[in-house]
Amino acid sequence: MKPGSYTSDEMMTIAAARMLRNGAICFVGIGLPSAAANLARLLHAPDAVLIYESGPIGAKPPVLPLSIGDGILAETADTVVSTPEIFRYWLQGGRVDVGFLGAAQLDRYANINTTVIGDYRRPKVRLPGAGGAPEISTSAKEVLIIVKQSRRSFVDKLDFITSAGFLTGGNARERAGITGGGPVAVITDLCILRPEPESRELIVSSMHPRISREQIRLETGWEIRFDAECVETAPPTADELDALRDLQARTAAAHGHAESAA
């Protein structure tokens, strides 16, 4: 790879990592969310408190965990509590600043599907399921979502709503009695989307370098709109790329793989 070059996956992970504030208490999903959250901890947010649903609080894994039950999370945590305490006291008690989630499908109001593709009773594909995402999406003070963008993932209508975004838009979330603040950003390999203040529909606020509006339109299952002040995402810095690639290399070595995906 040429000096200064980077992949779309690296751009996505770094852009997502930038969103996590130092000192934030963050409930982390496995996969892309975990990569972004741990990269943030290595770069600008050393005091972020990473929580995983298996019970670790303040986890500082030197490599990315394989699952929420990976021992490296408990071994590097400040403390470990029971799963009921994580959910009831920390999450539902309003003590989590940020929920960091992934998605299989997403709609224009940032509702997430990780349950089934097709009819629920006779699905075409059975997805991994909910895990703690429904509770995270409804109880965290704010939610970040990281997902690769395509017409398969950005759909006009979800086959199933696993985790609530803004439901049907507007104040539907509040009317449903949901207490958490909801999604504040969706970070993809093409752009960053944020909910429009009134409609709560996702609109493009930032496009990644070398990405065109037409590319974004082609990979979105609804008529996507762009913020009037849409900007270009800052490209990854050398420090950000070095930290991400070092993390991936350590993870690959630890898990016995030639490569590790972001």
State the helix-helix crossing angle for 8-18 and 32-43, rounded to 10 degrees: 60
Active-site residue identified among 53, 135, 219, 240 = 53
Answer yes or no: are the C-beta atoms of 67 and 30 closer than 8 Å: yes
Residue 219 annotated among the catalytic residues of the structure: no
Q: What is the largest CA-CA distance in the chain?
A: 51
Residue reference for tokens 């130092």: 22
> Tell me, what amino acid is at 69?
G
* Residue-wise DSSP of 78-121: SEE--HHHIIIIIITTT--SEEEE--SEE-TT--EE-SEEE-SS
Answer yes or no: are the C-beta atoms of 37 and 98 closer than 8 Å: no
Enter the tokens of residue 187.
Answer: 């970070």
> Tell me, what amino acid is at 204?
V
Listed in order, strand segments (DSSP E) in the chain are 25-28, 49-51, 56-57, 79-80, 98-101, 105-106, 112-113, 116-118, 123-126, 142-146, 183-187, 191-195, 202-207, 226-232
For residues 235 and 240, give the distance between their C-alpha atoms in angstroms, rounded to a whole number: 10
Residue numbers annotated as active site: 53
